[in-house]
Structure 1
Amino acid sequence: MPPDAHPRARRALVLGGGLAGSLAAAALAPYCDSVVIVERHALPDEPRPRRGLPQARHAHMLWAGGADAIEALLPGTTALWTARGARRVSLPNGMVSLSPGGWYRRCWPEVQYLISASRDLLDWGVRTRLLDDPRVTLLTGTEPLRLLGTASRVTGATVRRPDGSTADLEAELVVDAMGRTSPGTGWLAALGVPEVPETVIDAGVTYASRRYRAPRVPADWPVINIQADSRLPMAGRAATILPIEDGAWLVSVSGTRGGEPSSDEARFEEFTQRLRSPLVAEYLARAEPAGPVTVTRTTANRRRHFEKVRMPEGFLAIGEAATSLNPVYGHGMSVAAQSARALHALAARQDIAARGFARRAQRAIGRPAAAAWLLGADQDILFPGAEGRRPTRADRLAGRYVHRLIRTACSDLTVVRALTDVMTLQTGAAALAHPKVLLAALRGPRLPALDGPALTPEEESVKTAPGRDTPYGQEVAPRP
Structure 2
Amino acid sequence: MNGPCTAPARTVRRRALVIGGGTAGMLAAAALRGAVDEVLVVEADELPDGPLPRKGLPQARHAHMLWSGGVRAAEAVLPGITARWLAAGANRIPTPTGMVALTSQGWLRRWDRETHFVLGCSRDLLDSVVRDHVLGAEGVTVLQRTRVEGLTGSASRVTGVRVRGADGRETVLEADFVVDASGRASRAQRHLESLGVRPAPERSLDLGLVYATRVFRAPEGAEGFPIVSVQSDPRSGRPGQSASILPVEGGRWIVTQTGTRAGAPTGDAEGFAAFPRGLRHPVVGEIISRLEPLTGVSLSRSTRNTRRYFERVRDWPERFVVLGDALAAFNPLYGHGMSVAAQTAAVLREEAGLRGVDAPGLARRVQRAMAKPVGAAWELAMGQDVFYPEVQGGAPGLRDRVLARYVDRLVRTSCGRFSMVEDLTDVTSLQAPLTSLVRPRVLLGAVRGPRYPPLSGPPLTARELALVGGGRG
TM-score (norm 2): 0.95
Whole-angstrom CA distance in 2 between matches of 1:465 and 1:446: 29
The answer on whether the counterparts of 1:15 and 1:39 sit within 8 Å (CA) in structure 2 is yes
DSSP-derived class of the 1:359 partner: helix
Find 1:42's aligned residue among 38, 42, 46.
Answer: 46
Aligned residue pairs, count:
460
Is 1:384 the counterpart of 2:389? The answer is: yes
In the TM superposition, 1:401-420 aligns within 5 A as 401-420=406-425
C-alpha distance in 1 between matches for 2:51 and 2:450: 44
Whole-Å separation in 1 of the counterparts to 2:372 and 2:214? 33
**Structure 2 gaps, min length 5:** 1-10
1:370 aligns with 2:375: yes
Q: How far apart are the structure 1 equivalents of 2:325 and 2:222?
A: 36
State how far apart, in whole Å, the 2-side matches of 1:29 and 1:263 are.
Answer: 43
More deviation, 452-461/398-407: 452-461
Question: What is the CA-CA distance between 1:269 and the residue it aligns to?
Answer: 1.4
Of 329, 333, 344 in structure 1, the residue corresponding to residue 334 of structure 2 is 329
1:359 aligns with 2:364: yes
Aligned pairs for 1:454-469 (under 5 A) are 454-464=459-469
The CA deviation string for residues 386-422 of structure 1, in whole angstroms up to 9 with x for no partner, is 1222211111000011110000001111110011111
Residue 303 of structure 1 corresponds to 307
* TM-score, length of structure 1 as denominator length: 0.93
Does the CA-based 8 Å contact 1:286-1:465 persist in structure 2? Answer: no
Tell me how far apart the structure 2 counterparts of residues 19 and 284 of structure 1 sit (CA, whole Å).
Answer: 30
2:103 matches 1:99: yes
Q: Structure 1 residue aligned with 2:199, among 189, 195, 198?
A: 195
Q: Deviations over 1:70-124 (max 9, x none)?
A: 1221122222222221110011100110001100111230100011000000001
Q: 2:8 is matched with which residue?
A: none
Question: Which AA in structure 2 matches 1:357?
Answer: L
Structure-2 residue corresponding to 1:133:
137
CA contact 1:218–1:458 (8 Å) conserved in 2: no
Q: Is the 8 A contact 2:231 2:242 kept in 1?
A: yes
1:346-404 Cα distance to aligned partner (Å, 9 max, x none) = 11221212221111111112211110011112210011111222211111000011110
Q: What is aligned with 2:349?
A: 344
Give CA deviations for 1:174-193 in whole Å, capped at 9, x if unaligned: 11111111112111111122
Which residue does 2:90 correspond to in 1?
86
Question: Which range is displaced more, 117-126 or 139-148?
Answer: 139-148
Aligned residue number for residue 397 of structure 1: 402
Matched, 1:218 2:228: no
1:29 matched to 2:33: yes
Amino acid at match of 1:369: V
Q: Distance between the aligned counterparts of 1:120 and 1:68, measured in 2?
A: 20
* Mapped partners of 1:283, 1:130: distance in 2: 39
Moved over 6 A (4+): none
Tell me the equivalent position of 2:168.
Answer: 164
Q: Deviations over 1:24-44 (max 9, x none)?
A: 111111111111100011112
Partners of 2:214 and 2:132 lie apart in 1 by 27
Give the Cα–Cα distance (whole angstroms) in 2 for the partners of residues 446 and 123 of structure 1.
Answer: 42
Match in the other structure for 1:3: none
For residues 9 and 431 of structure 1, the distance between their equivalents in structure 2, rounded to whole angstroms, comes to 44
Mapped pair 1:317 → 2:322: yes
Does the 8 Å CA contact 2:303/2:330 hold for their aligned counterparts?
yes
Q: State the shift of 1:463 in Å.
A: 4.0
Structure 2 SS opposite 1:447: coil
| Counterpart among 228, 248, 252 of residue 248 in structure 1 | 252
Where does structure 1 lack aligned partners over 5 or more consecutive residues?
Answer: 1-6, 467-480
Mapped contact 1:46–1:124 kept (Cα < 8 A) = yes
CA distance in 2 between counterparts of 1:59 and 1:38 reads 27
Partner of 1:228: 232
Return the offset for 1:8: 4.3
**What's the secondary structure of 1:108's corresponding residue?**
coil
CA contact (8 A) 2:219 2:468 kept: no
Which residue number corresponds to residue 424 of structure 1?
Answer: 429
Q: 1:231 to 1:217 in 2, by over 3 A?
A: farther
Match of 1:59 in 2: 63
1:68-79 to structure 2, matched below 5 A, reads 68-79=72-83
Distance 1:353 1:342 in 2: 16
- Residue 463 of structure 2 is aligned to residue 453 of structure 1: no
Q: 1 CA distance for matches of 2:36 and 2:464?
A: 51
Q: Offset at 1:164?
A: 3.1
Is 1:123 paired with 2:127?
yes
Q: Could you give the per-residue CA deviations for residues 130-188 of structure 1, whole angstroms, max 9, x where no partner exists? A: 12321111111221111111112111001122333322111121111111111121111
Q: How many angstroms apart in 2 are the aligned matches of 1:260 and 1:64? A: 30
Q: Residue 297 of structure 1 aligns to which amino acid in structure 2?
A: R
What is residue 4 of structure 2 aligned with on the other side? none
